[in-house]
Structure 1
Amino acid sequence: MSESSPAPARLPDLPVTFRPTRTRVVLIGVGVAACAVISVVALVLDTLSPGERSSFVLTGALFLAVLLLLSRPHVIAATDGVTVVNLTTTRHLDWAEILRVNLRAGDPWVYLDLADGTSLPAMGIQPGVAKEQAVSDARTLRALAERYGTPER
């Protein structure tokens, strides 16, 4: 997304949630399917002891849990600011704290340049599977930040 990228024609009503929907569907689908297959195999195999069966089921559940964690990232834009939910952290930012929304070619996700001089990854907008959607979401978030942020940028 370049500096001169056009803003969306109409800003969405707030609150709005940005998330990598296709990636999320794939991760959850694969996790549920793998957990189910591993559990069925554990129950069908006659040669397994109860401890081995439970370790199979636990492995399937652990695999599902990891994929659910990977599907967690999202960004919620509301009138009071932005909440960034990454893999293991959640951070709420006031609009005034966001100086810039960046999605450069090759970036794995959007980065928010903050007023305190740091940069925060916003993993909820990622171009991996759906690049056009991520670019559109990044433009929308940028336009929202420009609209609701402080005027002295």
Structure 2
Amino acid sequence: MTTPETPELPVTFRPGRTRAVLLALGAAMFVVLTGVAVLLPRLGAGERLSFVLTGALVFAVLWVLARPRVVADGAGVTVVNIASGRRLEWAEIVQVRLRPGDPWVFLDLSDGTSLPVLGIQPGVAREQALRDARALRALVEARSTADRA
């Protein structure tokens, strides 16, 4: 029961380019700081360790920033943002919104609140974000129709 715009479930939406840049930058920073720790001859063991730990901390922070995603499956949608995650049933989602100028998609929920969805953001890859927002909207519409039938 899928249309050309409605993907097969389960499907994961995430900002691929942003994620790639953040993880590559984190890995590069870790390698550079570890290289500095190894190559500088006058550093003591504690100083070397602090360089390596700083590199690991930078990588960890960038990994957390690369974490946002949206996973849609037969039962509902899981939204994972930077510091939190939330599981939603299909019936809880009233509307998927991505207006011009919005930094990411918003889900209007049946309880009257909106949930930001950082897993679909038009900043770096605008066309991909628009396709993902349309696909999520089509899934919500198809699932809400199926739940009413």
TM over 0.5: yes
1:50 partner letter: A
C-alpha separation between the residues in 1 aligned to 2:23 and 2:80? Answer: 17
Residues 1:79 and 2:74 are matched in the alignment: yes
* Percentage of identical aligned residues: 60
Structure 2 equivalent of residue 3 of structure 1? none
C-alpha separation between the residues in 1 aligned to 2:71 and 2:96? Answer: 14
3-state DSSP class of the match of 1:63? helix
Map 1:1-153 → 2, pairs under 5 A = 9-149=4-144
2:55 partner letter: G
1:47-105 superposed Cα distances (whole Å, 9 cap, x missing partner): 11111111111110000000000000000011100000111111000000000001111
Aligned residues: 145
Report the CA distance between 1:106 and its aligned residue: 1.1
3-state DSSP class of the match of 1:127? coil
More RCO (CA 8 Å, sep 6+) = 1
Q: CA RMSD in A?
A: 1.3
1:4-40 superposed Cα distances (whole Å, 9 cap, x missing partner): xxxx734111000000011111110110011001101
2:21 partner letter: V
C-alpha separation between the residues in 1 aligned to 2:5 and 2:96? Answer: 18
Runs of 4+ in 1 over 3 A off after TM superposition: none
3-state DSSP class of the match of 1:149? helix
Q: Check conservation: 2:5, 2:138, Cα contact below 8 A.
A: no
1:58 partner letter: L
1:110-147 superposed Cα distances (whole Å, 9 cap, x missing partner): 00000001100110000011000000100110010011
**Which ranges of structure 1 fall in alignment gaps of 5 or more residues?**
1-7
User: Which is richer in helix?
Assistant: 2
**Which ranges of structure 2 fall in alignment gaps of 5 or more residues?**
none
Normalising by structure 1, we get a TM-score of: 0.91
